[in-house]
Chains A and B, each alone.
Chain A
Amino acid sequence: DGGITQSPKYLFRKEGQNVTLSCEQNLNHDAMYWYRQDPGQGLRLIYYSQIVNDFQKGDIAEGYSVSREKKESFPLTVTSAQKNPTAFYLCASSRVGAGNTGELFFGEGSRLTVL
């Protein structure tokens, strides 16, 4: 089945530690995204990438970093510089070009809790 796989589903971290969230897709989509979800605030864009080896900051990129070395993979690192990292993180992908309908395809999310 085609889709987006995020891991881990739950993650606990101590303050001061970096943590990396994995996102893999087998939909052959060019574009990938990371969103943060907090209660009552909808989805906010952290980073996005429309092509391998290129990515752009979203609305709340501070304290986060990404890489896009392969089309299928877009890992997100939550660094110790992120002041309020406890949240639900969602990875998504979409087509680019003629096949792009505007739809985002989401993974099932990773819940990060900082202790």
Chain B
Amino acid sequence: GENVEQHPSTLSVQEGDSAVIKCTYSDSASNYFPWYKQELGKGPQLIIDIRSNVGEKKDQRIAVTLNKTAKHFSLHITETQPEDSAVYFCAASKWYSGVSSASKIIFGSGTRLSIRP
């Protein structure tokens, strides 16, 4: 079955610096790659996602890149701020319009990001 590996498990960066979290997936049929942010004591929330028909997507200070050949995808956060401190999860799934395929979402093990003042 699908397996998603996420690195690093913990990451500490200076405020204002960039943070990069990397994931690899095993099922070449996966076509949807969301990233979720989980703040302390809360449920995860989708922050950005990418589908396999694009190689990069950006939303203000966050961006995600996808290398389908290598089966890698990464989250990039620039100009980090204290509110970026959280646990980040990558995930992979096969998504088809009109069908709920969320049950097939496989999550990575998470990265705890800490922003140093």
- Contact string, A38-56, partner B, CB cutoff 8 A, digits 1/0? 0011111100101000001
Residue A58 interfacial (CB < 8 Å): yes
CA distance A40 to B80 in the complex (A): 23
- Contact string, B35-50, partner A, CB cutoff 8 A, digits 1/0? 0100001111110010
Q: Is the CB of A42 within 8 A of B109?
A: yes
CA distance A42 to B2 in the complex (A): 14
Q: Is the CB of A31 within 8 A of B107?
A: no
Nearest CB on B from A75, distance (A): 17
* Those of B53-70 within 8 Å (CB) of chain A: none
B107: chain A residues at CB < 8 Å are 42-44
Q: Is the CB of B100 within 8 A of A104?
A: no
Q: List 23 A-B contacts (CB under 8 A).
A: A33-B102, A33-B103, A40-B9, A42-B6, A42-B89, A43-B107, A45-B105, A48-B103, A92-B43, A92-B102, A94-B100, A97-B99, A100-B95, A100-B101, A100-B102, A102-B93, A104-B44, A104-B46, A106-B44, A108-B42, A108-B43, A109-B41, A109-B43
CA distance A50 to B99 in the complex (A): 10
Question: Which A positions have Cβ atoms within 8 angstroms of B?
Answer: 4, 30-31, 33, 40-45, 48, 50, 56, 58, 90, 92, 94-98, 100, 102-104, 106-109
B109: chain A residues at CB < 8 Å are 40-42
Chain A: CB-nearest residue to B33: A102
Residue B98 interfacial (CB < 8 Å): yes
Nearest CB on A from B22, distance (A): 15
- Contact string, B94-117, partner A, CB cutoff 8 A, digits 1/0? 010111111101011110000000
A107: chain B residues at CB < 8 Å are 43
Nearest CB on B from A104, distance (A): 6
Given A50-B103, A103-B49, A106-B43: 9 more A-B contacts, CB < 8 Å: A43-B107, A58-B103, A94-B102, A96-B99, A97-B98, A100-B98, A100-B101, A102-B101, A109-B43
